[in-house]
Each structure stands twice: as structure tokens, then as C-alpha cells.
């Protein structure tokens, strides 16, 4: 099972999932507030993890892979429902609160500021976002969430809730996990060498919650490790999933 990051969709994992489809069943999930999944009126990691857990069965535990926001959901799921997770791969995020979401707030503000009623085609949205989101790759990623219904356009991501509760999105739910035991299954951390989401200073939290972990840093990769270095990512993940 693959879980995407903030502003993402399950299909972001398509290339990686295809690499495993020959000898594994793969499941790509749209997290709540994203893609074709439901929107709630608030953001809560525990509730989201429990919703995703509802897709699984203890009779058939999964190798769970989550990137960024999806990595946090995956960690919470493994902690609360360890019987559902045979092994866990966390991609470029740590079990900590990051304290700031200013970059994400800027993206949300830019997307909310787009007058969808005036759009004729997707290129108009691209041009309208260029000043606020100058990075072409990031802009294209955000615009994956723009959907056309007949003659109108809509965002397929819950910008209002994610924007209003960004502090929760960038946090780690320590208080809701009080009394929860560490996850005792094998855990692989894959981080990008150019990213600072997985730092040595976070090792204490990683080891506390996930004592049986090992860490791999991928060169020439930033936060989107699996997109920037897909061949390396697949090889590292395959060694982990096939190990016993």
C-alpha cells in the first residue's frame, strides 16, 4: 500500500507501483481531503490513519509505504494497528512536528486565490500561478488537483481545511499516541540527501517509536525521492520488501 504526500494523489505512486506489480499486489490510496476520497470538516492524523486502516485486514498485513504527509499517516497507522502492517517504509519525513508550514500556506493561498470561474483551459491556471509558484515542477504538481466538470473547474483537494489547520498537518500527534506501544516490525527510512526532513536530531523520536529501523539516504534527491531517483528508490525498497 502506497500513501502520497500533501497535495498529492495515489496515482503519484504509479511508476513505483508498476515496478512491483509483477510479483506484488499494489494498492494506491487517495488520502482523505485529497483526490477522490472524502473531505472531512477538520484534519486529524489519528482519524485519517484509522480510515486507511479500514482498507486492510489482519489476515493479510501489508508492506506500508508513505511519503511526507502519507509517511506520517503510515507511522500512526502502524502504531495504532500493528497487526495490519507487516513492515513499514517511511519516505522523507520523521515522527516530529516541523513547526512551520509557511511554504505550504503560500501554495494554498495561491490556489485559493485563483478565480476558477474565469478559467478557459488549464494553461490559464498555469499562467495565473506562475508568479506565486515559480518552480515549474511544484506548479505542475499542484495543478494535478485541478479538475474540470463540464464547463467549470474545481480543486480536488480540501484547501479550506488544510489551510485552516496547517499547524495540525505539519505536527506530530504525540498527545493522541500517549500510551501507544512502539511498532516492533521492520522499518526502513528513505531520505533525500538534499532534504532536511530526516535529520540526525530526529533519531531519538524515530528510535523511540520504531526501534527496529534502518536508514538509507539517496544521493542527488530532495524531498520527492521516489520521483527524483526512481530506479534507486525501487531497488532499495525491493531489498526491504523481499528481505526476511
What is residue 103's predicted lDDT score, i.e. its pLDDT? 84
Q: Which of 68, 94, 195, 226 is catalytic?
A: 68
Tens-of-pLDDT digits for all 244 residues of the chain? Answer: 999 999 999 999 999 999 999 999 999 999 999 999 999 999 999 999 999 999 999 999 999 999 999 999 999 999 999 999 999 999 999 999 997 667 899 999 999 999 999 998 889 999 999 999 998 988 999 999 999 988 899 999 999 999 999 999 999 999 999 999 999 999 999 999 999 999 999 999 999 999 999 999 999 999 999 999 999 999 999 999 998 7
> Over the stretch 2-29, which tens digit does the pLDDT of each residue have?
999 999 999 999 999 999 999 999 999 9
Helix, strand, or coil (residue 182): coil
The residue assigned the cell 497487526 is 83
pLDDT score of 101: 67
| Helix, strand, or coil (residue 11) | helix
Give the whole-angstrom CA distance, residue 70 versus residue 6: 8
* Residue 48, number of CB atoms within 10 A of its CB: 22
- Collect all residues with Cβ–Cβ distance below 8 Å to 221 and sequence separation of at least 6: 192, 193, 194, 195, 228, 229, 232
Give percent above pLDDT 70 in the chain: 99
Contact (Cβ atoms closer than 8 angstroms) between residue 84 and residue 61 = yes
Q: What is the pLDDT of residue 102?
A: 74
175 flagged as catalytic: no
d(CA 134, CA 222): 18
pLDDT at 206: 98
Contact 163, 108 (CB under 8 A): yes
* Residue of 50, 124, 160, 227 with catalytic role: 160
| Beta-carbon contacts of residue 8 (< 8 Å; ≥ 6 apart) | 31, 34, 67, 68, 69, 70, 141, 144
Residue 187 pLDDT: 98
Domain boundaries, the chain: 2-98+172-242, 102-164
CATH class of 2-98+172-242: alpha beta
According to the model, what pLDDT value does residue 151 have? Answer: 85
Q: What is the mean pLDDT of the chain?
A: 95
- Among the listed residues 33, 81, 223, 226, the single catalytic one is 223
Active site residue 123: no
CA distances from 133 to 169, 227, 243 (A): 20, 19, 41
**Distance between CA atoms of 97 and 93, rounded to whole angstroms?**
10
- Known active-site residue 117: no
Amino acid at each position: 500500500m502506497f500513501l502520497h504526500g500533501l497535495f498529492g494523489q495515489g496515482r503519484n505512486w504509479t511508476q513505483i507501483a508498476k515496478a512491483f506489480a509483477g510479483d506484488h499486489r499494489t494498492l494506491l490510496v487517495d488520502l482523505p481531503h485529497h483526490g477522490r476520497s472524502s473531505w472531512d470538516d477538520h484534519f486529524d492524523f489519528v482519524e485519517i490513519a484509522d480510515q486507511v486502516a479500514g482498507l486492510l485486514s489482519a489476515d493479510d498485513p501489508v508492506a506500508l509505504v508513505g511519503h511526507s504527509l502519507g509517511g506520517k499517516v503510515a507511522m500512526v497507522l502502524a502504531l495504532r494497528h500493528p497487526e495490519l502492517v507487516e513492515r513499514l517504509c517511511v519516505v522523507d519525513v520523521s515522527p516530529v512536528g516541523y513547526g512551520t508550514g509557511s511554504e505550504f500556506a503560500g501554495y494554498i493561498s495561491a490556489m485559493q486565490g485563483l478565480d476558477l470561474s474565469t478559467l478557459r483551459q488549464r494553461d490559464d491556471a498555469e499562467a495565473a500561478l506562475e508568479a506565486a509558484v515559480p518552480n515549474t515542477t511544484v506548479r505542475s504538481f499542484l495543478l494535478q488537483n485541478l479538475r474540470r466538470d463540464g464547463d467549470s473547474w474545481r480543486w480536488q483537494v480540501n484547501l479550506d481545511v488544510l489551510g485552516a489547520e496547517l499547524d495540525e498537518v505539519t505536527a506530530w500527534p504525540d498527545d493522541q499516541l500517549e500510551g501507544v506501544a512502539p511498532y516492533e516490525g521492520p522499518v526502513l527510512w528513505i531520505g533525500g540527501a538534499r532534504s532536511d526532513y530526516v535529520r540526525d536530531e530526529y533519531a531519538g523520536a524515530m528510535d523511540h517509536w520504531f526501534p527496529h529501523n534502518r536508514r538509507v539516504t539517496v544521493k542527488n534527491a530532495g524531498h520527492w525521492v521516489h520521483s527524483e531517483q526512481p530506479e534507486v528508490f525501487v531497488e532499495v525498497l525491493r531489498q526491504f520488501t523481499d528481505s526476511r
